[in-house]
Amino acid sequence: MSDVRGTVAATSISTEKGTRKRPQESIGLVVGSGVEGDAHAGAWHRQVSLLPDESVDRMRGRGFELSAGDFAENILTRGIALHELPVGTLLEVGDAVLAVTQIGKTCHNDCEIRRTVGMCVMPTDGIFAVVVRPGTVRPGDAVSVIQI
């Protein structure tokens, strides 16, 4: 077990791909699918998206007004450098466990976030994961690296 810890700053979902997500009081994570009710749910390697709030803070520092979910992340974290974790890392988030499957992504030209903000931090700072143990995630929950 690692002492790398952070917290959940926000949880969000969207019903359409390529759009901003809307903050929720909690999200349910399902093995084999991902985030209940989210457009990206399914049997693939990017079931759950996570982004550090510190990355969003950098964009806010450049004058952008941004809220949770604006970069289409399901889970906004604080206090943990997600993009520094290797693929295969296990994260306990709330009472769920996630396995990191991808660091960063390629943004497509038709992305609402990229059109609105002009750039996206998901390609460099975001990570993607699959659900290993189901559970509910809420803002304020702990995020812990349990295996690297």
Give the E-state strand segments of the chain in sequence order.
Answer: 5-13, 22-24, 27-30, 34-35, 48-52, 75-78, 90-93, 96-103, 127-133, 135-137, 142-147
Tell me, what's the pLDDT at 137?
Answer: 99
To the nearest 10°, report the CA torsion of 118, 15, 98, 25: 100
Tell me, what's the pLDDT at 110?
Answer: 63
Contact status, residue 38 vs residue 89, Cβ threshold 8 Å: no
Tokens 């909690």 map to which residue? 26
Residues whose CB falls within 8 Å of the CB of residue 106, separated by 6 or more in sequence, listed in order: 123
- HSE-up of 144 (CA within 13 Å, CB side)? 10
pTM: 0.91
Contact status, residue 80 vs residue 52, Cβ threshold 8 Å: yes
CATH homologous superfamily for the domain 5-147: PK beta-barrel domain-like (2.40.33.20)
Average pLDDT, 10 consecutive residues per value, the chain (148 residues): 84 91 98 97 97 89 85 95 96 98 79 69 88 99 95
